[in-house]
Amino acid sequence: MLTSQLKEIELFQSLPEEILEELIEVSKVVHLDANEALFEDGDQGDSIFAVISGRMALYKDEQEITLLWQGQFFGELAVIEHKPRSATVIASCKSQLLEMPKDFFHELLIHHNSFLTTVLKTICQRVRGNIQDLALGYQKIKAQEQLSTQIHQVIDSSPSEILIFDFPSGRLVRSNTAAVQRLGFLPTEIKSLTLFDLIKDLPKDRLTEQIGKLISDKESTLRFQALVNLKNKESYSTNILIQPMGHSSESLFIAIFKDKNGSQNQSASAAHQNYYDLLTGLPNRNLVNDRIKFFQTYAERHDSLFAIIVLDIDNFKTLNEGIGPEAGDELLKLVANRLVQYLRKEDTVARLGGDEFLLLLSLKEEDDASRMGKKLLNLFEETFSIGKEELRVGVSIGIAMFPYDGKEAVTLLMGADAAMHRAKEQGKRTYQFYNSSLLTKAANQLKLENELYRALEREEFVLYYQPKVTTPDNKIVGVEALLRWNHPERGLVPPGEFIPVAESSRLIVPLGEWILETACNAIKGWCELGWTELSVAVNISGYQFNHSNILKTVNHVLKKTSIDPTCLELELTESILLDDTEGSLNRINQMREIGLKLALDDFGTGYSSLTYLRDLPINNLKIDRSFIQNIQHERNLAIVQAIITLAKTLKLNTIAEGVEEEQERQLLMELKCDQIQGYLFSRPLPHEDLTTLLKKSMNP
């Protein structure tokens, strides 16, 4: 690099020639291709970067927040504060960067006032820009929240069946209470259906053609009559209206069903069933909106407060499977009875569905809500008697307050529900108050979930492969298959942004099947080239392992690709054993009987149970990268040494993840770690590039 290039960057313009030459000596030049990540949110910040050529994009929570052009610098705050990176940085095009070590950067700040002034000036400019962006963003968020509230009011209050679906897949992403009750499906079942599954007498291609006219703006609304399938195999005739949600180029559409033959009059019994839960006798979701309006009117008239509390039983699914559905129903009735007896007559207890309850409470002051949260947790310290069993039940609680958290029923309900889910994320058996960021997070997650479904349909996912090499001589002995999302606009999306959403939305099951089949096809191709001893590792998520027929999937893929099972390695985490220890061990043993290799991933960061380690028929133990990155630290070194010694005693191979420095490899070699994996040898590579690397490194 020429000194003249640095002189073009404002940060370095005031530095003397000899300092620039010293800077070049201690720094390194980083070359990035388009869509290649420099670092990710949460990585350690050990240096700052200046853009010599090209352009870098900063992403936070999946959103592009700014662009960095030639002559700009970044990363100084992470270095000054000694904190992890606060954003993900990805090259927008082929780019060249100067990476300056933090120690040299500190020296320049101390000894060169003009350098310090430039840094402070840049920070001030960014703060000023952030304030302007916040002002604009606030107005946009308020408008979006108002639109969202209106949409949810229409959905939840309408007596007609309303379904929101994605096009062209037809996947149902939301349904109102009227649709759930009329169609007979559970809410979870509806999410697995498509609009084409429900409409009986209109061919899919014809309906697709008609909706296509909405997209091309030839029609603003689609109206037709059709037969709709019910869960009980019956059908009914209805008028259907379909419109795009928002702009016609978006993929979400709303369908409204109006029953032609439905009776206008209901008996008193039917009306009661419409508004009260059959199991517990509590008001149901249909009646909740009316009750909230009553509480709202009272609070406005008396200038008082009220709280909406959503209470959910922790781990009810596992509990219900253990005691049986009849005992599970009995538990729900006991919970309802305990809540009714504890609360005042003027309060309301409702059952929203499943194991979720809602409480409406009038309050005198804000602190009453916090006190009630604690009292409800204490209320469940006492066990429930079911037959001869004494069951202890934990609950997670979310609280939203009128008027602080909203003045509409749908806003308050969504807020309390979001707070309840936050309580579960915080470890359960606790309560959380709503704040607006929870709904923003939920909205972003729904948007990302919808994009993921389309990405799977459009084949936007790709597998990259990172080599695993022997520690002493860097001989490739296997690779790990790593999922990447090749977004049509953003390029390669880091897996940390979308894998958690794929797991929570259960998309991880079809996605996991695609990963297995793609990896096995890669194995087949490499075996045909002569690399028959190369193993390919595939990560299996906890939900995929415990809630899908993983053995059937693996057997199907092995049969379809005709590969040797010993070439496929499944990487599991200890968390898969928490929900179903005995069943998990049985599945793992069956996997070994098939001939698969098994690895325990991220060892040392979870429960690290020696009982599991003793009982699991695994081949490899993977040491988490968090220990390797700071292996020079005395405690980390001791932990890594203990893991390797334990593995050797149990006759297991050890694989160190995230090895990036030669010093780390040397220490691992001294500790007799079998294999390493990390950027020191190779980044994750596309299939073709990995094949080229294999040709250079391995003889068939």
Provide the token pair at 327. Answer: 């005992």
Rg (CA), the chain: 29
Q: Residue 347: is its pLDDT beyond 90?
A: no
Identify which has the larger pLDDT, 472 or 494: 472
Confidence at 153, pLDDT banded by 50, 70, 90: low
Identify which has the larger pLDDT, 12 or 8: 12
Residues 51, 95 contacting (CB under 8 angstroms): yes
pLDDT in tens, 572-582: 887 666 555 56
Q: What is the pLDDT of residue 673?
A: 93
Identify which has the larger pLDDT, 177 or 473: 473
Mean pLDDT computed over 464-473: 93
Q: What is the pLDDT of residue 688?
A: 92
Beta bridge partners of 229: 235
Mean pLDDT computed over 205-228: 81
Q: What is the pLDDT of residue 188?
A: 66
Angle, CA 233 vertex, CA 253 and CA 200 arms, to 5°: 45
Q: Residue 80: is its pLDDT beyond 60?
A: yes
Q: What is the pLDDT of residue 147?
A: 47
Mean pLDDT computed over 514-524: 93
How many Å apart are CA 286 and CA 49, to the nearest integer? 57
Q: Residue 602: is its pLDDT beyond 90?
A: no
Identify which has the larger pLDDT, 658 or 438: 658
Q: What is the pLDDT of residue 396?
A: 93
Least confident segment among 351-365, 486-500, 586-600, 640-654: 486-500
Residues 526, 534 contacting (CB under 8 angstroms): yes
How many Å apart are CA 632 and CA 639, to the nearest integer? 11
Q: What is the pLDDT of residue 547?
A: 66
Residues 541, 510 contacting (CB under 8 angstroms): no
Q: Report the mean per-residue pLDDT for the chain.
A: 82
Q: What is the pLDDT of residue 333?
A: 92
- Percentage of residues of the chain with pLDDT beyond 90: 21
Identify which has the larger pLDDT, 43 or 132: 43
Phi and psi at residue 303, in whole multiples of 5°?
50, 50
How many Å apart are CA 599 and CA 622, to the nearest integer? 7
Q: What are the DSSP calls for 467-531, one per residue?
A: EEEETTT--EEEEEEEEEEEETTTEEEPHHHHHHHHHHTTTHHHHHHHHHHHHHHHHHHHHHTT-
Locate tokens 């009117």: which residue? 297
Taking each helix axis as running N to C, give the angle between helix 687-697 and helix 508-528, from 0 to 180 degrees, rounded to the nearest 10: 30
Tell me the residue length of the chain.
700
How many Å apart are CA 612 and CA 524, to the nearest integer? 33
Identify which has the larger pLDDT, 185 or 652: 652
Put the strands of the sheet holding 88-91 in their side by side order: 37-39, 88-91, 55-60, 63-69
Distances (CA, A) of 518 to 222, 439, 590: 40, 36, 22
Q: Residue 145: is its pLDDT beyond 50?
A: yes
Mean pLDDT computed over 354-383: 87
Q: What is the pLDDT of residue 573?
A: 80
Q: Residue 394: is its pLDDT beyond 80?
A: yes
Taking each helix axis as running N to C, give the angle between helix 113-157 and helix 102-111, from 0 to 180 degrees, rounded to the nearest 10: 120
**Could you say which DSSP state residue 575 is in?**
G
Q: Residue 259: is its pLDDT beyond 80?
A: no
Q: How many CB atoms lie within 10 A of CB 85?
A: 20
Identify which has the larger pLDDT, 161 or 606: 161
Which domains can be identified in the chain, with CATH numbers?
Answer: 3-132 (2.60.120.10), 159-260 (3.30.450.20), 277-443 (3.30.70.270), 459-697 (3.20.20.450)
- Before 168, cis peptide (omega within 30)? yes
Provide the token pair at 374. Answer: 């604690």
Mean pLDDT computed over 516-542: 91
Residues 418, 395 contacting (CB under 8 angstroms): no
Confidence at 542, pLDDT banded by 50, 70, 90: confident
Q: What is the pLDDT of residue 283?
A: 87
Identify which has the larger pLDDT, 584 or 415: 415
Residue type present at position 547: H
Q: What is the pLDDT of residue 265?
A: 39
pLDDT in tens, 278-320: 888 888 887 887 788 888 888 888 788 899 999 999 988 888 8
pLDDT in tens, 621-657: 898 888 888 788 888 888 889 889 988 988 899 999 9
Mean pLDDT computed over 586-598: 88
Q: What is the pLDDT of residue 144?
A: 52
Q: Residue 234: is its pLDDT beyond 60?
A: yes
Locate tokens 């953003």: which residue? 490
Least confident segment among 41-45, 175-179, 579-583, 650-654: 579-583
Least confident segment among 124-128, 173-177, 359-363: 124-128
Query: pTM of the full predicted structure?
Result: 0.48
Q: Residue 504: is its pLDDT beyond 50?
A: yes
Identify which has the larger pLDDT, 88 or 144: 88
Q: What is the pLDDT of residue 517?
A: 93
Q: Is 218 left (phi over 0), alpha (psi -120 to 50) or beta?
A: alpha
Residue type present at position 339: L
Q: What is the pLDDT of residue 273?
A: 59
Map 300-351 to HEC letters: HHHCCEEEEEEEEECCHHHHHHHHCHHHHHHHHHHHHHHHHHHCCCCCEEEE
Residues 319, 313 contacting (CB under 8 angstroms): yes
Q: Provide the terminal-to-terminal Cα distance of the chain, rounded to the nearest Å.
A: 41
- Percentage of residues of the chain with pLDDT beyond 70: 87
